[in-house]
Amino acid sequence: MGNRAPAARSPSPLTSVFVAALTFAGGSRATLRRIRPKVVSERLGHASIGITLDTYSHVMPGMQEEAAEKIDAGLRATLAG
């Protein structure tokens, strides 16, 4: 009679949006803090690292320049070597 549990409600569409926003914010912050993409991918439950890189690589300012500088330094060290 009065001991019946309330019926379970399905989550609000806003709940899904909120969770997605938090997930994106967390992935973006992890990327900005230069946490390795493989680790970020695993923590977010992505099926592949490609998903993570496609989604979050735009938040890394200077990523292309930094990569070019590292490749240049490595080539110069090899040629000098």
Q: Per-residue pLDDT for 3 more than 90?
A: no
Query: Domain for residue 4, yes or no?
Result: no
Tens digit of each residue's pLDDT (9 = 90 or more) over 21-75: 888 899 999 988 889 999 999 999 999 999 998 998 888 778 778 888 999 999 9
pLDDT score, position 81: 77
Full residue range of the structural domain in which residue 58 is found? 13-80
Query: Domain for residue 58, yes or no?
Result: yes
DSSP state of 80: H
Are 56 and 73 within 8 A, CB to CB? no
pLDDT score, position 43: 93
pLDDT score, position 1: 55
Query: Domain for residue 21, yes or no?
Result: yes
* Residues 64, 41: Cα–Cα separation, whole Å: 20
Determine the angle formed by the axes of helices 49-56 and 13-32, rounding to 10 degrees.
Answer: 90
pTM over 0.85: no
Query: Domain for residue 24, yes or no?
Result: yes
* Residues 12, 16: Cα–Cα separation, whole Å: 7
